[in-house]
Amino acid sequence: MDRRSARRRIYRDRHLYLLLTPVLIYFFIWHYIPIWGARIAFQDVKYIGENTWAGLKHFRILFSSPVFFRVFMNTITISAMKIFFFFPLPILLAFLLNEITSSGLRKGVQSIIYLPHFLSWVVIAGIFISLLQSPDGALNQLLGLFGIAPVAFMTSTSHIRWVFVGSEIWRSIGWDSILYIAAINNISLELYDAATVDGATKLQQALKITLPCILPTIITVFILNMGFFMNAGFDQVFNMMNDAVINHVDIIDTYVYRIGLGKGNFSLGTAAGLFKGVIGLVLILSTDRLSRKVTGEGVW
């Protein structure tokens, strides 16, 4: 393609580029300029005067903690649990919503399931702590009706991570399904009509038409999610953790908040952020490559 034709295409689509401009400016200001600020991970921050070069000092402090490995593993475990158990659910929900024929009912259901997304984790933590209290919480009272002994969900090391997964599902399943619902709505109805004529069941239509058609969306979302793999959910963990389970749920973000940001040590916080970012980048690239090999689909 020569330069003239490229220029001609840009001129032809100038209105689209104009629409794109604010988004590019946003990403440049809020996502690219801060990359330059990440250099303070390698510096000692001075409130007055120039920062001084500190090399890998802050990374050494981060990794030398007697509990860093445990905190790191907690982060990976909680993130992996969320990805594994949560990721398929919004897709399933989108499939189910697609089967509701009454548009009024569908809109009503959608509005209700989107609602928790707008609640802060402080509120959600309060709700879950109250619901899951032992022995008087609503869930334990319900279990009691079936003769099941009360379970200390919030203070049991074997349950608390599942509480994180459960509360994440409750909060985000509706909101995260929006993208899949939009993808499903873009599928040509003729495909379903033809399948119906051929005698395909609803399940067969879902598996043979809907799923393959939204697979690129699923793969894209999955790969992008991998970039946030190390973000196990600061707000959620911070508000739901307690002394009984702290060593099983303390993640990199909560650890850095206590050790770094709470004490004004921004370099340490940035070092942790950079560490998480590098892992996220590696995960995105490797997942993309794996996806291309297996399915032929990728982000780029």
Counting beta carbons within 10 angstroms of the beta carbon of residue 212, is it exposed (0 to 12), middle (13 to 18) or buried (19 or more)? exposed
Residue 294 phi/psi, 5-degree rounding, is: -80, -45
Residues 6+ apart with CB under 8 A from 86: 165, 168, 169, 172, 173
149 counts as binding another protein under rule CB under 8 A: no
Site string for another protein, 266-285 (x = CB under 8 A): x-------------------
67 counts as binding another protein under rule CB under 8 A: yes
Angle of CA points 256, 86, 144, to nearest 5°? 95
CB nearer another protein, residue 129 or residue 206: 129
Site string for another protein, 38-57 (x = CB under 8 A): -------xxxx---------
Count of residues touching another protein (by CB under 8 A)? 33
133 counts as binding another protein under rule CB under 8 A: yes
Site for another protein in 162-191 (CB under 8 A): none
CB nearer another protein, residue 65 or residue 185: 65
Q: Which helix (H) or strand (E) holds 43?
A: strand 43-44
8 counts as binding another protein under rule CB under 8 A: no
- C-alpha 290/C-alpha 208 separation (Å) is 23
Residues of the chain by 3-state class (helix, strand, coil), percent to 5: 75, 0, 25
Q: Which of 265, 277, 280, 298 binds another protein (CB under 8 A)?
A: 265
Q: How far is the CB of 70 from another protein (least distance, A)?
A: 9
Residue 37 phi/psi, 5-degree rounding, is: -70, -20
Q: How far is the CB of 145 from another protein (least distance, A)?
A: 20
Q: How far is the CB of 238 from another protein (least distance, A)?
A: 11
Site string for another protein, 73-112 (x = CB under 8 A): ----------------------------------------
CB nearer another protein, residue 49 or residue 199: 49
- C-alpha 249/C-alpha 230 separation (Å) is 13
Site string for another protein, 225-264 (x = CB under 8 A): -----------------xxxxxx--x----x--xx-xxxx
Q: Which of 41, 113, 124, 154 binds another protein (CB under 8 A)?
A: 154
Q: How far apart are the first and last CA of the chain?
A: 20
- C-alpha 105/C-alpha 112 separation (Å) is 11
- C-alpha 84/C-alpha 165 separation (Å) is 10
Point out which span in 62-70, 87-95, 190-198, 229-237 binds another protein (CB under 8 A): 62-70
155 counts as binding another protein under rule CB under 8 A: yes
129 counts as binding another protein under rule CB under 8 A: yes
64 counts as binding another protein under rule CB under 8 A: yes
Matching residue, tokens 């879950």 = 128
Residue 168 phi/psi, 5-degree rounding, is: -65, -40
Q: For residue 42, give the nearest of 264, 271, 276, 279 by alpha carbon.
A: 271
Site residues for another protein per CB under 8 A = 45-48, 61, 64-68, 129, 133-136, 154-155, 242-247, 250, 255, 258-259, 261-266
